[in-house]
Structure 1
Amino acid sequence: MIRTVINCMLCAVIVLSMAACGREPPEQRLRLTVAAMQEAVEKGRPKDFMESVAEDFVGNGGLDREGLERLLKGQLLLSPNVTVQTGPLSVEMGAGDATTATVRFSVLLAGGSGRFVPERGDMQELVSGWREEDGQWRLYSASWKPVGAD
C-alpha cells in the first residue's frame, strides 16, 4: 500500500515537472538551446551540438549540415580545449506564431590550434535562423563574419 502511494506520488511529480518545462516561453527555450550548444562545444561533444542543427542547415559559402559536423569534429580533434564566449543574444521571434526566430550575437572562440579557431581569440558576428520542430528549436541557417568586417 505504501509502495503504491509512493509510486503514485513519484508519477505525479514527474508529470508536473514535464508540464512545467512545457510552459517555458519559446524565447526562453531557444536561449537554453543556444547555451546547451555552447556547452557541447566546450565539453568536446559534437554529437550533442548537432542535435539542434536542422537537416537542411545552410551556412557561409553553402556549408551544409554534414560540412558543419565535419568542421566541428575536426576542430575539436585539433583543439580539444576550445572556449566559446558569447555576447548578449538579440532574439527576434517570428511574426505571428513564434515558431521561427533570428538570433544575433557576437562570439569569441579561443583555445584553438590557429588553423580554424585561433589560439588567442577571434571575435565573430553571428546571425542565425531558427525554427521549432516537434517542440525543439533547430538551427537552420547561420552566417558569420569578423567583427567590424563589412
Structure 2
Amino acid sequence: MLRGRRSIPFLLLALAACGRKAPEDQVRAAFEACRTAVEAGDAARAAAPLDADFRGPEGMDRATARLFLAGLLRRERVGVTVIRNQLRRDGPDILQEVDLVLTGRGGGLLPEEASRRSFLLRWRQRGGDWKLAELQSPEGP
C-alpha cells in the first residue's frame, strides 16, 4: 500500500504531461483567439499575445501595434477569413505563414471591401505562453 502512495505524484505528473498541447497547437489556439478578438472588436484581447519585444511592419513596436488596433477596431468592423495557415519550427521559435481575406464594415467580399493579405509571424515561448514576437508583411503596406 505504501508503494501505491509513492507512485501517485508520478502518476499525476504523467497525466499532466499528457494534457499539454503541442507547441504548434498552442500557437494555433493563440492565433485563433487573436482572430476572434479582432472580429469582436476587442483590441485589448487582440493585442494580448504580443511579446514585450514585438516588432511589426515599418518598425512597429508593441505599444504602437496596440494603439493601431484600438483605433482601427473603434472605427471599423473587421472580418478575418483564414485561407492558409502553415506552421513550422525555426529553432526555438515557431514560424506561421498565413494568407487572410480582411473585410470591412459591410462584411462582403466585393473588391472595394476586401483585401487579401499574407503575413509571416514569428512566435516565441515566454514562460509557459507563446507570444507573437514579429509580424512581417511580404507585400508591404
TM-score range, shorter chain: 0.7 to 0.9
After TM superposition, give the deviation of residue 82 of structure 1 in Å. Answer: 0.9
Residues 30-57 of structure 1, C-alpha deviation per residue, up to 9 Å, x if partnerless? 1111000000100111111111000111
Aligned position for 1:27: 24
Contact 1:78/1:112 (8 A) holds in 2: no
State which of 98, 102, 106 in structure 1 corresponds to 2:99. 106
Q: 2:124, 2:84 → 1: CA distance?
A: 20
Q: 2:87, 2:116 → 1: CA distance?
A: 19
Q: 1:34, 1:21 → 2: CA distance?
A: 22
Q: 1:43, 1:145 → 2: CA distance?
A: 26
Aligned position for 1:93: 89
TM value normalised by structure 2 = 0.78
Q: Where in structure 1 do 4 or more consecutive aligned residues deviate above 6 Å?
A: none
Aligned position for 1:3: none
* CA 21–120 in structure 1, closer or farther in 2 if over 3 Å, else same: farther
Aligned position for 1:83: 79
State yes or no: 1:139 paired with 2:132: yes
Aligned position for 1:124: 117
Residues 40-97 of structure 1, C-alpha deviation per residue, up to 9 Å, x if partnerless? 1001111111110001111111011111111111011111x210111221101133xx
- In the alignment of these two chains, the number of paired residues is 124
Q: 2:137, 2:78 → 1: CA distance?
A: 18
* CA 119–69 in structure 1, closer or farther in 2 if over 3 Å, else same: farther
Equivalent position SS for 2:113: coil
After TM superposition, give the deviation of residue 24 of structure 1 in Å. Answer: 1.0
TM value normalised by structure 1 = 0.74
Q: 1:90, 1:136 → 2: CA distance?
A: 19
Sequence identity percentage: 27
Alignment RMSD, CA only?
Answer: 2.5
State yes or no: 1:62 paired with 2:55: no
After TM superposition, give the deviation of residue 20 of structure 1 in Å. Answer: 7.0
* CA 110–64 in structure 1, closer or farther in 2 if over 3 Å, else same: same
What stretches of structure 2 of length at least 5 have no aligned partner? 1-11
